[in-house]
């Protein structure tokens, strides 16, 4: 038996990966069914105003993935704002990385100049007013 990959037999999907597949397939089905409703609303001959539910259902199902991603975006923004506010004591530290020191060699030649010998990271502290 191969216990390296956490057991569970076969596919190698964790619980999180299977949840992503379920959500993705649900959103795809929502678009397909909504598009089908809109297509039937356009193709099927009917009296004006007799089947408004078909158009409303189609638009709602097609818009569902957009609403999902919009609310996911809003959730991420709010949680990051809350995390930043809870950790904030008025001091923000920003680390600057000197890119010249991380390049090393350019064009196969070893660059040894003053920019290459500087410290790789510098830290600056700013105080919020």
Tell whether pTM > 0.75.
no
Beta bridge partners of 96: 122
**In this structure, what are the phi and psi dihedrals at residue 105, rounded to the nearest 5 degrees?**
-125, 145
Q: How far apart are CA 46 and CA 57, in angstroms?
A: 17
Q: What are the tens digits of pLDDT across the range 9-46? A: 555 567 788 889 999 999 999 999 999 999 999 998 88
Three-state DSSP class for residue 32? helix
Average pLDDT, the chain: 74
Category of 2 on φ-ψ map: left (φ > 0), alpha (ψ -120 to 50) or beta: beta
Q: How many CB atoms lie within 10 A of CB 94?
A: 9
Q: Where along the chain do its domains lie?
A: 13-88, 89-129
């Amino acid at each position: 038996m191969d216990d390296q990959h956490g057991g569970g037999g076969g596919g190698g999907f964790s619980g999180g990966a299977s949840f992503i597949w379920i959500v993705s397939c649900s959103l795809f089905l929502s678009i397909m069914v909504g598009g089908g409703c809109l297509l039937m609303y356009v193709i099927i001959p009917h009296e004006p105003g007799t089947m408004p539910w078909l158009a409303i259902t189609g638009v709602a199902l097609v818009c569902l993935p957009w609403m999902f991603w919009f609310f996911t975006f809003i959730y991420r923004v709010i949680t990051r704002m809350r995390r930043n506010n809870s950790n904030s004591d008025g001091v923000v530290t920003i680390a600057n990385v000197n890119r010249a020191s991380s390049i090393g060699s350019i064009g196969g030649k070893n660059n040894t100049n003053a920019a290459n010998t500087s410290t790789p990271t510098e830290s600056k502290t700013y105080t919020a007013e």
